[in-house]
Amino acid sequence: MGNLAYTFWAQGRWKDAEELNLQVMEIRMRVLGQEHPATLNSMNNLASTYSNQGRLKKAEELEVQVVETSKRICGQEHPSTLSYMDNLASTYSKQGLWQDAAELEVQIVDTRKRVLGQAHPDTLTSMNSLASTYKSQGRIDAAIALLSQVASLRSGVLSKEHPDTKQSVDILIECRGEAESEARLDFS
């Protein structure tokens, strides 16, 4: 059922995905309990469906519950917990809650650097997300500094031609352009 729900999700069939994800979650809660990792994953999948439907407050409420439970059951450094935190930060960003997103992303980056290392692809993805949040906050200098690190590390780890590396470089170029425009305005 979970695979079919994912297929509906991937096809953009949000209502079908929601109905099936809800069924899967309810069955897992009843059979496995609310704190079982498979149940948490189902709750997260349902929250992602809500997010894609634009039901961001409902997604946020469910994601907060999943993050808190996962931290308690699996621990703050568990890959699933960090993934759930990523999803919550993304939901905050979609709502324009940049400060909440940044605070969560800083925690994720710090934890992934400590546990996985700075050059791990997951760490680099989290750093890239934080840089994008800084950009959205208007913190262009912080975004440029972080994106410079990410682009350099991704180039070495993944290659210069990898889509993730190119994405980081593109955002970096965009930020540098914004910084130059602001500098020209300051001299006008």
Do 35 and 69 touch, CB atoms closer than 8 A? yes
Q: Are 143 and 131 in contact (CB under 8 A)?
A: yes
1-95: which CATH topology? 1.25.40
Q: Do domains 1-95 and 101-188 have the same CATH topology?
A: yes
Structure tokens at 3: 């695979």
Q: Taking residues 109-133, report their average pLDDT.
A: 96
Instruction: Characterize 78-117 residue by residue with b for buried, 16 or more Cβ atoms within 10 angstroms of its Cβ, and e for exposed.
Output: bebbbbbbbbbbbbbbeeebbebbbebbeebbebbeeebe
At the fourth CATH level, the homologous superfamily of domain 101-188 is Tetratricopeptide repeat domain (1.25.40.10)
pLDDT digits (tens, 9 = 90+) for 35-93: 999 999 999 999 999 999 999 999 999 999 999 999 999 999 999 999 999 999 999 99
Say yes or no to pLDDT of 186 above 80: no
pLDDT number for residue 185: 74
Instruction: Report whether pLDDT(184) > 80.
Output: no
Query: What is the pTM (predicted TM-score) of this model?
Result: 0.89
H-run or E-run covering 175:
helix 163-187
Instruction: Evaluate whether 20 touches 4 at the Cβ level (below 8 Å).
Output: yes
* Domain boundaries, given as residue ranges, for the chain: 1-95, 101-188
pLDDT band (50, 70, 90) for residue 181: confident
